[in-house]
Amino acid sequence: MISIVALSHASPPSSANGQSLYGGVNTTSTLASAVAFGSKIFNELGMTAYSATLLQSATEAWEWADSNPNVIWENNSSSYNSVGIGAGQQETDTYGRFAYKMRTAIHLYDATNNSTYKTYTENNYQNIHMLLWNYTYPFEQENQEILLYYASLPGVTTSVVSTIKNTYPNTMNSSNNFGGFTNETDPYLANLTEYVWGSNGTKARKGLMFTDYVNSNINSANNDNALKAAERFIHYIQGINP
């Protein structure tokens, strides 16, 4: 998969006559573009031929990225002769590429039941920060959620399921998560410890951490509180919390 594109724009589009620039094929974009989850959805809708096409593309993306784990291309970088292409820096780091690969492996295992993807996941899942740091936070909500999803799949090693399902609620009981909800540490009832550009997105991911808790049914006795906490983040974005 090629990297970020810088386009020449005009209205109508046919009048654009400037150059368009793009980065080369790289590991990050290839892993991020794997479409194994889409394959599953279209298969469930009865679109089996298109599902098979997506799954083949996802498998080929995995194989290429597995053989080329460190093909990097940075936009806006003089080192890559790419100054002016795109906004910000779109390339990730080594951990980011690893996290993309974990997500791809889990979706491919779900779609194929192939032990190759299970083996990769179970050999590496403890290097996701939730387990490595014993910590959950909104900037890695997707990485945390995919582990919970993996724990719900058939054929997963029992000890792996237990590790994931024990770690998530323990980390959610921290002062930054359920502690912030219980103590109402935020005047808008949507506690967040760090604000960065695009903070509504971070707020939304924090809310999803609580819905992941409910959907995984890890501790049903606490589901009502988790759902209430999640709703507060939605209300914050809508502007109707106290």
Cα 207 versus chain centre, distance: 15
Q: Phi and psi of 6, rounded to 5°?
A: -110, 120
Q: Would you tell me how many other CB atoms lie within 10 Å of the CB of residue 52?
A: 13
In residues, how long is the chain? 242
Which mean pLDDT values do the consecutive 10-residue runs of the chain (242 residues) have? 74 88 82 82 95 94 93 86 80 93 95 97 99 98 98 98 98 96 93 92 97 95 97 90 60
For residue 19, give both structure tokens.
Answer: 């150059």
> Long-range contacts of range 69-74, CB-CB < 8 Å, 24 or more positions apart?
69/27, 69/97, 70/27, 70/94, 70/97, 71/24, 71/25, 71/26, 71/27, 72/26, 72/27, 72/28, 73/3, 73/23, 73/24, 73/26
What is the structure's pLDDT at 178?
96
Percent of the chain predicted with pLDDT > 90? 72
pLDDT digits (tens, 9 = 90+) for 226-238: 999 999 999 999 8
pLDDT digits (tens, 9 = 90+) for 14-65: 898 988 877 778 898 788 767 888 899 999 999 999 999 999 999 999 999 9
Tell if the pTM clears 0.85, that is, is over it: yes
Query: Domain boundaries in the chain?
Result: 1-121, 128-242
Q: Helix, strand, or coil here: 240?
A: coil
Please provide the distance, in angstroms rounded to a whole number, between the alpha carbons at the two ends of the chain.
46
What is the structure's pLDDT at 85?
82
